[in-house]
């Protein structure tokens, strides 16, 4: 996190506080939305999602203003390394990596919209007095910058609208993505991801056992020859882990 703050300090020197604050707030909101859609049994707090949004916006700012940078490849590799390392730390227990991912995506898209720079040729042209031998008029931005701006703006509007609608409808994203919980925590021999007691709702229909993990809202059916309590507890632990 200290490395992130060091990189962000350089970023603050290039842009005004209003734009950075806008990205910070919206990215934090985006991270909270994604966390609420995937984590149903607990509440997470903190500014890490918003910080990931700022890092994501730095990456998109580098991409959309690619032609203006000198050491672009080194900057790109540094940002990618910082993102990968911090996301890898997010798979530890009690760390809300969904907020990190949501903030990162929100900030990445916002960077294309908020941090677009004019081309040097256009800036230099404005400083030259007009005359009969003046160079042809230069465009303020390149075509790919406009394309990235439009696509990012559309994805932001659609994504936030869809996420808010699903949130108020009580949508549980884990029901449609059985492996997504590994993005936030990967269980190992050293730790378990489920810190709360494991409880499941069980319904037996013939040889079919229907289990619902109450903590995560994950539903699955099993074919069992004999539904003993030990068997149900074992399957419940597998489902909720």
- Do 204 and 170 fall into the same domain? no
- Do 208 and 173 fall into the same domain? no
β-strands 218-223, 208-213: how paired? Answer: antiparallel
Provide the pLDDT for residue 65: 86
Q: How confident is the model at residue 186 (pLDDT cuts 50, 70, 90)?
A: confident
Model-level pTM greater than 0.85? no
Which tokens in the block code for residue 6? 């060091």
What is the residue range of 80's domain? 2-181
- Do 201 and 106 fall into the same domain? no
Provide the pLDDT for residue 100: 95
Q: How many domains, the chain?
A: 2
Kindly report, residue by residue over 112-133, the tens digit of the pLDDT: 999 887 765 555 555 555 555 5
- Do 91 and 208 fall into the same domain? no
- Do 177 and 201 fall into the same domain? no
Name, in order, each residue with C-beta under 8 angstroms of 100's C-beta and a sequence gap of 6 or more: 31, 48, 49, 52, 86, 87, 90
Residue 27 lies in a domain: yes
- Do 41 and 131 fall into the same domain? yes
- Do 59 and 149 fall into the same domain? yes
Q: How confident is the model at residue 98 (pLDDT cuts 50, 70, 90)?
A: very high
Residue 151 lies in a domain: yes
Residue 186 lies in a domain: no
- Do 19 and 130 fall into the same domain? yes
Let me know if 141 is a catalytic residue. no
Kindly report, residue by residue over 43-85, the tens digit of the pLDDT: 788 888 999 999 999 999 999 888 777 888 988 998 899 899 9
Residue with tokens 């916006």: 57
- Do 231 and 152 fall into the same domain? no
**From the candidates 48, 57, 60, 184, which is the catalytic residue?**
48
Q: What is the dihedral of CA 15, 17, 22, 24, to 10 degrees?
A: 90
Nearest Cα residue to 216 out of 128, 106, 98:
98
Let me know if 100 is a catalytic residue. yes
- Do 225 and 108 fall into the same domain? no
Q: Across residues 187-195, what is the average pLDDT?
A: 75
Residue 190 lies in a domain: no
**From the candidates 35, 57, 100, 106, which is the catalytic residue?**
100
């Amino acid at each position: 996190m200290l490395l992130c703050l060091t990189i962000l300090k350089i970023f603050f020197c290039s842009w005004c506080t209003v734009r950075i604050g806008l990205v910070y707030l919206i990215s934090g909101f985006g991270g909270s939305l994604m966390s609420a859609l995937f984590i149903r049994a607990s509440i997470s707090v903190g500014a890490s999602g918003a910080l990931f949004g700022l890092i994501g916006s730095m990456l998109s700012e580098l991409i959309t203003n690619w032609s203006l940078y000198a050491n672009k490849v080194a900057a790109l590799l540094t940002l990618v390394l910082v993102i990968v390392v911090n996301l890898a730390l997010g798979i530890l227990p009690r760390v809300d990596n969904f907020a990190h991912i949501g903030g990162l995506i929100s900030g990445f898209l916002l960077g294309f919209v908020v941090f677009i720079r004019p081309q040097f040729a256009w800036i230099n042209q404005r400083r030259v007095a007009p005359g009969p031998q003046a160079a042809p008029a230069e465009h303020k931005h390149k075509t790919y910058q406009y394309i990235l701006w439009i696509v990012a703006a559309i994805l932001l509007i659609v994504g936030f609208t869809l996420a808010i609608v699903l949130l108020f409808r009580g949508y549980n994203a884990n029901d449609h993505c059985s492996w997504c919980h590994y993005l936030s925590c990967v269980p190992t021999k050293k730790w378990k991801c489920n810190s709360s007691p494991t409880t499941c709702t069980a319904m037996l229909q013939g040889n079919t056992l229907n289990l619902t993990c109450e903590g995560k809202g994950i539903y699955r059916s099993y074919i069992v020859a004999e539904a003993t309590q030990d068997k149900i507890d074992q399957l419940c632990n597998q489902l909720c882990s």
